[in-house]
Amino acid sequence: MQPIDCETIREALSARADGEATSDDNALADAHLADCLGCRTFAADMERLDRMVRIRPAEPVPSLVASVTARARPARLGRGGWLRPALAWVAVVMLVQSLPALLFGEAAGTSPHLARHLGAFGAALAIGFAYAAWKPHRAFGLLPFTAALVATTSVSIVADILTGSRTPLAELIHVTELAGLALLWMVSGSPGWRGRRASRRTPQLSRLDPLQ
């Protein structure tokens, strides 16, 4: 039988470390190791390195529970679950207010064309409120658009009152939009409010949180 060279045995030892060696490879390697000091040293070094790599202690990972929880937007339905019915009621009121303008083009001080556009905006917002009341976990996604719409509407209300185009009493019709925005914000988990309270309680979180 021809002697087995060390390179072949070391390849067999590498295959053994990876769990890929056959029984014949193992028997051949064991027989060679009995007579070869160099390969025994190689096998010992490989075993030590393999143990260091496989049994290396896990690196400490900071807890991200507080950070993830702070960014979550679970629906908040209020004590007794009153927020959803209230938001649904606002949606119904807004839809009733918008239907005359949408269907008949009737809105004080506007042309039928503009009245229908205003009615479409109001009806769309009412549908959005109704959808958020039906699926409250989607309320947060509707919040930015609704806030922008109510904010720009509020600017126009103030401008109309200051110029004398409309009376404050006539503009009370927009109270439903403000109420809907407030309810939508509360259903969304009051974003911004909880964050400020949490930051006051744990001011060091911003320095330790890797996601910020």
- Determine the pLDDT at residue 207: 41
Handedness of CA 158, 160, 161, 166 (dihedral sign): negative
* Amino acid (one-letter) located at 114: L
- Determine the pLDDT at residue 34: 84
**Given the structure tokens 């290396």, which residue do they identify?**
56
Q: Model-level pTM greater than 0.75?
A: no
User: If the chain, 212 residues long, is cut into consecutive pieces of 10 residues, what is the mean pLDDT of each piece?
Assistant: 72 81 83 85 84 70 72 64 91 92 81 87 93 88 90 88 83 88 88 58 42 38
The stretches of 18-138 forming alpha helices (DSSP H) are 23-33, 37-54, 65-71, 83-104, 112-134
Residue 70, C-beta contacts closer than 8 angstroms, at least 6 positions apart: 194, 195, 198, 205
HSE, side-chain direction, 13 A CA sphere, residue 172: 3
Using DSSP's 3-state secondary structure scheme, residue 66 falls into helix
- Determine the pLDDT at residue 212: 38
Cα–Cα distances in angstroms (integers) from residue 170 to residues 5, 76, 122, 165, 180, in the given order: 100, 33, 16, 10, 19
- Determine the pLDDT at residue 88: 94
Nearest to 6 by CA among 27, 32, 25: 32
Using DSSP's 3-state secondary structure scheme, residue 121 falls into helix
* Amino acid (one-letter) located at 52: M
- Determine the pLDDT at residue 1: 44
* Amino acid (one-letter) located at 140: F
- Determine the pLDDT at residue 178: 92
- Determine the pLDDT at residue 202: 46
Check if the beta carbon of residue 36 is closer than 8 Å to that of residue 6.
yes
Handedness of CA 96, 167, 174, 153 (dihedral sign): positive
- Determine the pLDDT at residue 91: 95
- The C-alpha atoms of residue 73 and residue 143 are separated, in whole angstroms, by 12
